[in-house]
Amino acid sequence: MKPPPFDYHRAQTQDEAVNTLMDHGSDVRVMAGGQSLMAMLNMRLTQPKIILDISGIHELNYQTESSSYLSFGAGVTQAQALNNARVVNEVPLLGQALPYVGHMQTRNRGTICGSICHADPSSEIPLVLATLGGEIVVRSKTGQRVIPIQDFQIGLMTSARRPDELVVSARFPVARPEQRFSFSEIARRHGDFAIVAIAGCCDGKTTRIGVGGVADTPAVREWPCLEPDQIDDALNELAWDLGGYDDIHASARYRRELIRKLGRDQIERIQNDQD
C-alpha cells in the first residue's frame, strides 16, 4: 500500500498548473482532494510520473452564481458546497445528492470538480451534473473551452479533457421555480459506491431521470410527463437499455430492478409535487 515513485508539483496559480500540463501532458495526474487518486496510487492501479496538486490554487476556490448557473471552481470541496446555502436553494438536486458522497471526512477534502473528472460511473456529482445538463470549463495554454457534460463524460473513468487541459470549473444550472427534484441511492453501506443512484427532475412538462452506477457513464432519459400506466414501461425500457453488470456487490438484474422500483418512486414524487 505504498504509491510508486512520482514527482510532486504543487501549483500556486492556474497558469503554473496549465504550464505543467502543457509541458508534461499525459504523464501528469491532476490531484485536487485526492480521495480517489490516493487510493488508486497506493494500490498502484495508476502510476503517473507527476502528481500535479491544485488544492493550493486560491483562485480556483470560488462558488459564483450567474442568472443561469452556479459555478464551482476546481478547488471547491464537497463540504464547502454542502455548507453553501445557495447550493440548497439554487441547485437543490446537488444539495440532495451531496450527503450521499462518501463521508464527512472525505467530503472535507474531495472536490466537486475532482469527482466529475474522475468520472467513476457510481459517483453522485457527475450524475447530478448530467441530469441537470451542466457544463465543464477547461483551460489550456491555448485557451479555454466549455464542454457540455454529455460530451465530457465519454466512458468509464474517461473524460474528454485533453492531457494539456485543466478543468477549472463546473457549471450547475440554477433550478427554475417550476422544477422539482429528487435523489435516491442504494449502496451496501452509507457512503459506499452506489449500486444504483437515481436523480430525477420534472418541470411539469417533461420528466427527466438520470441513473448512475449501472452503465459506464451516467445515463439520462427524458420523457413528456408520464401517465401512471406509462411509468413502468418507460423504466423497464431504460433498465434493459442500460443492462447493468454483475460484480461482487450486486447482480445486473438487481441493478435493473432498482431502476424500476426507485425510478417509479421518484417519478411519482416529482410529478405529483407539481400539483
Partner 1 sequence: MIGDSTPQGQGHQTALTQIVADELGISMDDIAVNLETDTQKDNWSIAAGNYSCRFAPASASAAKEAAVKVRQKMTRIASSQMNVPAADLEFKDGWIQSQSNPDNRLEFRRIGGLAHWSPSSLPDDMEPAVRETAHWSGPELTPTTANDEINTSLAYGFAFDFCGVEIDPDTGRVIIDKYVTAHDCGTIINPGLAEGQIRGSFASAIGATLYEEFVYSGDGSFLSGTFADYLIATPTEAVDPVLVHTEQTPSPYTRLGAKGIGEGNQYTTPVCIANAVADALGRESIELPLVPSKVFEWIHAEEETPPPKQTVQQVKWDDSGTISSGGALQINADANSIWSVLVDPDRLARVFPGCRSLLLTSDNVYQGVVDLGVGPVSGTFDAFVELSDLDPPHTMTLTGKVIGPLGTSRGVGIIKMIDAGKSTKIEYSYQIGLSGTIASVGGRLISGAARVLINRFFAALVVEMNPDVSQDQKKHSWFSRFWSGRSRKP
CA distances from 265 to 97, 139, 167 (A): 16, 40, 35
- Contact pick of 154, 206, 230, 272 for partner 1 (by CB under 8 A): 154
Window contacting partner 1 (CB under 8 A); options: 13-21, 50-58, 159-167, 200-208: 159-167
**250 is an interface residue for partner 1 by CB under 8 A:** yes
- 65 is written with which cell numbers? 452564481
- Contact pick of 7, 12, 23, 43 for partner 1 (by CB under 8 A): 43
- Contact pick of 216, 221, 223, 225 for partner 1 (by CB under 8 A): 216
**258 is an interface residue for partner 1 by CB under 8 A:** yes
- Contact pick of 239, 266, 267, 270 for partner 1 (by CB under 8 A): 239
Q: Would you say the C-alpha torsion 219, 224, 226, 232 has a positive or negative sign?
A: negative
Q: How far apart are CA 259 and CA 261, in angstroms?
A: 6
Report, in Å, the least distance between residue 241 CB and partner 1.
Answer: 6
- Contact pick of 34, 102, 126, 244 for partner 1 (by CB under 8 A): 244
Residues 110-129 that bind partner 1 (CB under 8 A): 118-119, 121-122
**Strand 194-202, strand 143-148: pairing:** unpaired
**141 is an interface residue for partner 1 by CB under 8 A:** no
- Contact pick of 8, 45, 176, 227 for partner 1 (by CB under 8 A): 45
**10 is an interface residue for partner 1 by CB under 8 A:** no
Size of the site for partner 1 (CB under 8 A): 59
- Contact pick of 90, 203, 241, 268 for partner 1 (by CB under 8 A): 241
**146 is an interface residue for partner 1 by CB under 8 A:** no
Q: How far is CA 121 from the centre of its chain?
A: 9
Residues that bind partner 1 (CB under 8 A): 29, 37, 39-40, 43-48, 118-119, 121-122, 151, 154-158, 160, 162-163, 186, 188-193, 195, 215-217, 232-233, 236-237, 239-241, 243-254, 256-258, 260-262
